[in-house]
Structure 1
Amino acid sequence: MEPLLGVKIGCLFALLAVTLGCGLIPICSKWFQIEAATGRHRRVLSLLGCASAGVFLGAGFMHMTVEALEGIESEIQKFTVQDRK
């Protein structure tokens, strides 16, 4: 195995471990359980949920925008070629 390939695979597993570790921290912590939350604590958890939903929506819309712009660009090129003929 090439050294660079080994480094890439190692980084892939390290990224997986860090992501899983950070993602499971809220599940294991009582502070993040909404059933036990009251008042300001509930509001903070709600804002955190809204922020995470915004990140997912933003990433999804960015992904869709790039693909839509590529499709629009190809359609515009087809129309300009047809107009020249």
Structure 2
Amino acid sequence: MEALVGAKIGCLFALLILTLGCGLIPICFKWFRIDATTGCRRQVLSLLGCISAGVFLGAGFMHMTAEALEGIESEIQKFIGQYRKGRKLLCCC
């Protein structure tokens, strides 16, 4: 069990270092600096920024939608149950 926890912690740190390393690589290259870009390069960097923002927004909305659907399904079932009870009361009277 301790070996499994150690492996998980090791993978966590490896993933952190890999993500930080890959995320910071563009800082080293002059091509990616906004102040040094002109014309076509600026448009490419702007497009890449828009794509990355879309990825983050899409992932966030997908995550929220899954949780919202779980809550909505239970609320719909409650509403249907209340509707059926109220309908039976109206029909019996």
Aligned residue in 2 for 1:20: 20
Moved over 2 A (4+): none
Aligned equivalent of 1:58: 58
Percent identity (aligned): 80
Where in structure 2 are there 5+ consecutive unaligned residues? 86-93
Aligned length: 85
Q: CA RMSD in A?
A: 1.3
Distance 2:13 2:75 in 1: 41
Give the structure-1-normalised TM-score.
Answer: 0.90
Gaps of 5+ in 1: none
Instruction: Report the TM-score, using the length of structure 2 for normalisation.
Output: 0.83
Q: In structure 1, how many angstroms separate the alpha carbons of the residues matched to 2:2 and 2:72?
A: 42
The alignment partner of 1:72 has SS state of helix
